[in-house]
Amino acid sequence: MNRIIAAVVASFLACAPAIADPVAGGRANVVIQPEPPSLMLGLVQNAPTQQIAGNIYEGLLRYDAKLEAMPSLAKSWEVSDDGLTYTFHLEEGVKWHDGAAFSADDVVFTADVFLRQQHPRFRAILEHVASITAPDANTVVFTLKAPFGPFLNAFEVGSMPIVPKHIYEGTDFQNNPANNTPIGTGPFKFGEWQKGSFIKLVKNPDYWDEGKPYLDEIYWHVIPDAASRAVAYETGQVDILPAGSVETFDIPRLAALDNTCMTEAGWEFFAPQSWVWINTRQGPAANKEFRQAIMYALDREFIKDALFNGLGKISNGPFAASTKFNDTDIAPYPYDPAKAKELVKASGYNGEVLKLVPMPYGETWMRLGEVIKQNLEDVGIKVEIVSTDVAGWNQKLSDWDYDLSTTYLFQYGDPALGVSRTYVSTNIAKGSPWNNVEGYANPEVDALFAEGAGTIDPAKRQAVYSEVQKILVDDVPNAWLLDLGMPTIMRCSVKDLITTGIGLNDGFKNAYIEK
């Protein structure tokens, strides 16, 4: 029986290439929003920079939709049994875009010197690393101080873009003129950037992965107005709308157009989760029952359907559904205004007005602020909306000058990389809108997150993380909203654009356009 199945599968596999034969040539037209300040991925980490520069630079690894590591610049790797030594074997014959040869020295320089100085997120990972060495030109060895569970998930191109040592060593990284004409090892080379209009990448003919990429060039169009971006797709100026390029209320109309495909794939690694920041330091929100009341008061089904067009998933807690170790046994808080009212009463709330500072990231997020205000007022909580621009919102959150706010953050595949930072007390510090802004401090949670990060065995990690999820769901340090659905809209003739859990951020290597 098994043999028959194997034979069937084999015949399917044999047919597969005939069904989808990549076509070489052509140009992809993509929207980029907003215009990135720079494409030097080692220095700048904005979402639009990551989206474009992920084609210029490469990481050691990529990750599939299940977040399992896939080869990239590293063709294979081994982890020692004690979980302390990670050995990467690099692709051979790789060249930088300027023709110089790529080697293990570049990787060591990138991790040990360049990113240690310039990359806050990677710097945090380096805390766990004792040494980085290159025993030969094609091997890199990371030795850890102690076992670190998510270490193998830290090599995605945005987290650790490999930069050329021969260009940066001994220079002032920030002011190196090469930053304006970035040089990587990736499938596409920097072509041209007309500020305010477009960014052009061209095919790297010497790419190490023979036969790839298929496209000749990619144009990213800078179109500052959301309605104009929708028109750009309708009139055929662009063929790909990455998630977030149009307002959510335009999505159903665009998705219904001819020859248009939409997918939510390609965001599993980042797993953006949205929530309501609750300043737990002060006022009624210092009380747990009051925070639970907020959770029961929010009509998240409505938020999902009315504001996000049904895309996304109601969060069951602090771990997004696609993040590792999400405990699927935990049920999301139901919408229960009656219960919320009881809890508000029990918390001893006496009519203080809470200041809600919605994240000013466009129309949808402003409407979200209004829905939250309405939901909370329905259960007797008084809310005042304070509007500001992005810089002002950053500042207010960084200074803890708010009662409620909204946000969404990436989870980077593993709770130790993208979740714990929001809840551990060591991460309470003014000056950043992305740390433990809510001021939640619970020694038990700190200890569990530390244990989870220091454990290798997945089953043991699951037990620890299930425990921490239960505590957090009961404590409600933040009111979780949705694991956001991130729709990419494109012409159906664009094939193999999204082939990994990193999606567009290392997107165009396999992409081709059917004639």
Partner 1 sequence: MKILTRIVGRLVKAAVVLLAILVLNFLLIHAAPGDPAAVMAGEAGATDEMFLAQLREKFGLDQPLHVQLWKYISDVARLDLGYSYRQQMPVLDLILDRLPATLLLTGTAFAVSLVFGVLAGVLAASRVGKWSDTLISSVALLFYATPLFWAALMGVLLFSVTLGWLPPFGYETVGSGFTGWRRALDIAEHLVLPALSLGLFFTAVYSRMTRASMLEVSQMDFVKTARAKGLSPAVIERRHILRNALLPIVTLAGLQAGQLVGGAVLTETVFAWPGIGRLMFEALTQRDYNVLLGVFFVSAAMVILFNLITDLVYGIVDPRIRVQ
Q: What angle, rounded to 10 degrees, do the helices at 288-297 and 337-346 form?
A: 160
Residues that contact partner 1, how many (by CB under 8 A):
55
| 196 versus 351: smaller Cβ distance to partner 1 | 196
CB atoms within 10 A of CB 250: 21
Among positions 196, 211, 351, 443, the unique one binding partner 1 when judged by CB under 8 A:
196
Site for partner 1 in 228-247 (CB under 8 A): 228, 231-232, 234-235, 237
Rounded distance between C-alpha atoms, residue 294 and residue 335, angstroms: 10
State the residue for tokens 């003919």.
205
Per CB under 8 A, does 465 bind partner 1? no
- Token pair for residue 369? 């602020």
Q: How far apart are the first and last CA of the chain?
A: 41
| 121 versus 291: smaller Cβ distance to partner 1 | 121
Q: What angle, rounded to 10 degrees, do the helices at 458-475 and 443-453 form?
A: 160
Among positions 32, 47, 125, 162, the unique one binding partner 1 when judged by CB under 8 A:
47
Per CB under 8 A, does 181 bind partner 1? no
Backbone angles phi, psi at 240, to 5 degrees: -135, 125
**CA 18 to chain CA mean position, Å:** 34
Per CB under 8 A, does 277 bind partner 1? no
Site for partner 1 in 380-419 (CB under 8 A): 388-392, 394-396, 398, 409-410
Site for partner 1 in 91-130 (CB under 8 A): 118, 120-121, 123-124
Per CB under 8 A, does 282 bind partner 1? no
| 297 versus 357: smaller Cβ distance to partner 1 | 357
Among positions 227, 257, 353, 492, the unique one binding partner 1 when judged by CB under 8 A:
227
Q: Which residues contact 177 (CB under 8 A, 6 or more apart)?
A: none
- Token pair for residue 262? 């939409």
Is the bond into 284 cis (omega within 30 degrees of 0)? no
Largest CA distance in the chain: 71
User: DSSP labels for 155-200?
Assistant: -STTTS----HHHHTTS-GGG-GGGGS---SSSEEEEEEETTTEEE
Among positions 10, 24, 37, 514, the unique one binding partner 1 when judged by CB under 8 A:
37
Specify the stretch interacting with partner 1 by CB under 8 A; choose among 35-43, 247-255, 330-338, 482-490. 35-43
Site for partner 1 in 344-383 (CB under 8 A): none
| 225 versus 444: smaller Cβ distance to partner 1 | 225
Specify the stretch interacting with partner 1 by CB under 8 A; choose among 189-197, 316-324, 344-352, 449-457. 189-197
**CA 287 to chain CA mean position, Å:** 32
| 427 versus 466: smaller Cβ distance to partner 1 | 427
CB of 360 to partner 1, least distance (A): 9
Q: Which residues contact 437 (CB under 8 A, 6 or more apart)?
A: 277, 279, 397, 398, 400, 405, 422
Q: Which residues contact 6 (CB under 8 A, 6 or more apart)?
A: none
| 82 versus 192: smaller Cβ distance to partner 1 | 192
Sketch the per residue contact string, 13 through 32, with partner 1: x for CB under 8 A, - otherwise. Answer: --------------x-x---
Rounded distance between C-alpha atoms, residue 24 and residue 439, angstroms: 53
| 231 versus 471: smaller Cβ distance to partner 1 | 231
Site for partner 1 in 422-461 (CB under 8 A): 429, 431-434
CB of 454 to partner 1, least distance (A): 21
Of residues 138, 128, 136, 137, the one with CA closest to residue 85 = 128
CB of 323 to partner 1, least distance (A): 16
Rounded distance between C-alpha atoms, residue 38 and residue 53, angstroms: 9
Per CB under 8 A, does 198 bind partner 1? yes
CB distance 219 to 239 below 8 Å: no
Rounded distance between C-alpha atoms, residue 163 and residue 398, angstroms: 31
| 88 versus 277: smaller Cβ distance to partner 1 | 277
CB atoms within 10 A of CB 216: 14
Of residues 210, 150, 110, 169, the one with CA closest to residue 415 = 150
CB of 226 to partner 1, least distance (A): 10
Which chain residues interact with partner 1 by CB under 8 A? Answer: 27, 29, 34-35, 37-38, 44-47, 118, 120-121, 123-124, 174-175, 179-180, 194-198, 200, 217, 219, 221-225, 227-228, 231-232, 234-235, 237, 388-392, 394-396, 398, 409-410, 429, 431-434
